Amino acid sequence: MQEEDGNANSTSKVKVAVKKVARSTKKNVVKVAVKKPNVLRKKTTSKNKVKKIFVLDTNVPLHDPNCLRCFENNDIIIPLVVIQELDPFKKGSDTINLNARSFLRQLDKISSKEGFNGGVSLGRGLGILKVVLNQPYSEFIKAQLYPESVDNSIINIAYDIKQKNINTEVVLVSKDVNVLVKARSLGIAAQDFRFEKVDNVDFLSEEIKTIKVSESIIDSIYENREVLYAIKGATVNQNYILKCNHGNKTAMAVHQEGILKLIKKDDLWAFSVKPNNAEQSFAMNALLDPDISIVTIEGEAGTGKTLAALATAFEQTKKGKNSKYGKIFFARKIISVGAAEIGFLPGDAQDKMNPFMGGMLDNLEYLESLSDKNATIVLEFKNKNIFSVEALGFIRGRSLRNIFFIIDEAQNLTPHEVKTIVSRAGMGTKIVLIGDTHQIDSPFLNESSNGFSYLIDKFRGQPIYSHIHLVKGERSPLAELAGKLL
């Protein structure tokens, strides 16, 4: 009986062991099932993506001369008509001319050994580059697009490539909205050049946040000029208005690594100018802060962007050898609005720039009118070239040291142009970009693709950077009402 019991026990132990194995096997099966989505995700990595064919419009290399490296391992096609259209841009010192020359030099280097026959590899991790000759208009395109033009020729080539590559997605890339609309109307996939484009532009128009704090916090910040107060989600140099939970006490402060530092309106006099509202106070505080090397100020016309920048520039440069900056540069990208072409202008670069500097000159005259001392300093700075108007086309290759550099209408710059300008900054230089992303004059830029928005997006959170959005117009009640109603 004992042996039988022993066998029975051993049999039961075996059954238990088998059940455990079965359970563990089931668990393992479940675990494998859970991991399957990871395998699927691996299949969608860039290395395994289905290749596309991108056809580039002329404005893409003019916008970014390094565009050939922006399409991963997909193939790129450049119509020969695009290269022909770049020919007039070979001369000149404007950014668009420099971009054209840079792009053409890259094509020359790529094609120097084997030409474009059959396509040329762009390098590791990139696709094949082909130059396609002009094609006779297909009957379908001929019936829809007339008369023949460069834009329509590019669309025709994209259509022809699509017909010859039925199993591959063909995408026409252009900065021209009209080209995009026409292509899509004909069943051709078309998209803007999305490289260096801001995904979400809501932050550009964010107003200064108001947070409620205890009365002791406000008392402490006025007494000590700063207080330990971490704010979840706050970036470095983000500005706040503090409001007492109970009562009417308020304070303006800037957040820096868990510390709120007081901003007092009375401390912000600059060249006889003082701020009229909280937003202007935050702007002038950043403009006067020696630890902040780059400032962006966004706002509609009449909010005081240019005046604040000029006043703080002269204030910090007027002290001679003890000044923070040796010179003041003022520049803007020259784009004529609508039919406002003024033709050939005589004189040097500064003479040619003056007709476009009306806004700056108005603000300069206002600063001169505030006191005789201001007028004397402005005149002296002009005569000694301490203050000068600069052409952005001549910035490339320079190293700007100890300069207070103001760039107006920055929303009309491309990301590549902004990089070119900001990378010129030498030791002791402060760069201030001012603009309004709702007033873009360049036909190939929008609120999310211009260099001003791009810089703001990339620099957020950097300790040497500050962004301020101005809301309230300060010109006159009439101007503010016109801005709202018209």
Secondary structure, 3-state, 182-196: HHHHCCCEEECCCCC
Q: What is the mean pLDDT of the chain?
A: 83
369: number of Cβ within 10 Å: 11
23, pLDDT greater than 70: no
344, pLDDT greater than 60: no
Among 429, 438, 426, 431, which residue's Cα sits nearest to residue 459? Answer: 431
Q: Measured between alpha carbons, how far is 438 from 406 in angstroms, rounded to an integer?
A: 20
Structure tokens at 112: 């120097």
Amino acid 245: pLDDT: 86
Domain ranges of the chain: 48-191, 269-336+344-485
Confidence of residue 317 (pLDDT cuts 50, 70, 90): very high
pTM comes to 0.72
Work out the average pLDDT over 164-181. 94
DSSP-derived letter for residue 418 is: H
Q: Which residue has the tokens 């600063």?
A: 367
- Mean pLDDT lowest among 56-60, 271-275, 359-363: 359-363
Work out the average pLDDT over 46-50. 59
- Considering only residues 297 and 207, tell me which one the structure prediction assigns the higher pLDDT: 297
Alpha helices in 44-169 (DSSP H): 59-63, 80-86, 95-111, 139-144, 150-164
- Considering only residues 114 and 456, tell me which one the structure prediction assigns the higher pLDDT: 456
101, pLDDT greater than 60: yes
Amino acid 96: pLDDT: 83
- Mean pLDDT lowest among 86-100, 210-224, 297-311, 420-434: 86-100
Bond prior to 147 in cis (omega within 30° of 0): yes
- Considering only residues 164 and 37, tell me which one the structure prediction assigns the higher pLDDT: 164
Amino acid 247: pLDDT: 78
Domains 48-191 and 269-336+344-485 share a fold: yes
Work out the average pLDDT over 103-117. 81
Structure tokens at 254: 């800037």
Phi, psi of 125 (to 5 degrees): 80, 0
Work out the average pLDDT over 1-15. 44
Region 48-191: CATH code: 3.40.50.1010
201, pLDDT greater than 90: no
Amino acid 26: pLDDT: 40
- Considering only residues 31 and 189, tell me which one the structure prediction assigns the higher pLDDT: 189
pLDDT tens digits along 287-309: 999 999 999 999 988 899 999 99
**What is the phi-psi region of residue 5: left when phi exceeds 0, alpha when psi lies from -120 to 50, beta otherwise?**
alpha
Pairing outcome for strands 327-332 and 403-408: parallel
**Helix axes 415-422 and 95-111, enclosed angle (nearest 10):** 100
The CATH homologous superfamily for domain 269-336+344-485 is P-loop containing nucleotide triphosphate hydrolases (3.40.50.300)
Q: How many CA atoms lie within 13 A of 396 on its CB side?
A: 15
